[in-house]
Amino acid sequence: MPSRERTFRTEAIVLRRKDFGEADRILTLFTPELGKIRALAKGIRKPASRKAGHLELYTRSKLLVAKGRDMDIVTQAETVESYRPLREDLLRSSYGSYCADLIDKFTPDDYENLPLYDLLARALGWLCESTDLQLTTRYYELQLLGMSGYQPELFHCVVKGEEIVAEEQFFNPAEGGVICPRCGENHPGAFPISLNALKVLRFMQNNPYESLRELKLSVTVHQELERVMQRAINFHLERHLKSAEFVNLVRRIG
């Protein structure tokens, strides 16, 4: 981790915030050079605060931060990208919250990961304009797992190592990916995955986001992809995310 001076400048995306005292907030920030840090934004809840609009959830800003005795303090903030649609639409906001939550849960404090920072910044932009929020989120989840060291094996059976042929397979997060029908039939923790869902996962794993724009998926495939990715994520995190449950709630209401 780079050493910090008494004051330092950094770009950051606001992942979480928590009210502190009468007018302050504690922010969880994801930065390109310093990883995930926490900092105090003094007076941000006052009506006259100049920093408030630059430190909204999911906002990407340039910050001047002072090294405090107990906690770093944000002294200046300037918006780089506000991702306004994420605050104007509840469904997009719920997906933005989920994407931020995933980064928060998968990254330790003070650990630099520039590729993950770039992924989150791009994903928030995708969510602002996507016409298929589910597919966008599945792509983000799959890329996040890969960059975090948990890329699922989608081309070879994780039990015997043989190349997977074009047919329905099994998937097991604990084993790290797909299992051929011969090995997966009675394998503990393995569950079926259709050929169509596997093809989409393979495509997303090996292609840029822009190539997804022409994909049109059935409701059934969408549901299966979500089930596969959620089971993989829950396995690696060893928990269910409330932000994922909130997405489902907003979808049902909407």
Q: Where are the domains of the chain?
A: 7-81, 85-253
Position 212 confidence tier, pLDDT thresholds 50, 70, 90: very high
The confidence band for 145, taking pLDDT boundaries of 50, 70 and 90, is very high
Residue 55 has pLDDT above 90, yes or no: yes
Find the mean pLDDT for residues 173-181. Answer: 96
140-167 burial, b at 16+ Cβ within 10 Å, e below that, comes to bbbbbbebbebebbbeebbbeeeebeee
> What superfamily in CATH does domain 85-253 come from?
Recombination protein O, C-terminal domain (1.20.1440.120)
pLDDT in tens, 104-127: 999 999 889 999 999 999 999 999
- What pLDDT shows up at residue 233? 97
CA-CA distance, 235 to 109, in Å (whole number)?
Answer: 21
With vertex at residue 106, the alpha carbon angle to CA 101 and CA 110, rounded to the nearest 5 degrees, is: 100
Predicted local confidence at residue 1, as pLDDT: 47
Question: Any residues with CB less than 8 A from the CB of 84 and at least 6 apart, and which?
Answer: 128
pTM: 0.93
**CATH topology match: 7-81 vs 85-253:** no
Q: Quick one: 7-81 is in which CATH superfamily?
A: Nucleic acid-binding proteins (2.40.50.140)
Rounded Cα distance between 51 and 63, Å, is 10
User: Quick one: pLDDT at residue 36?
Assistant: 96
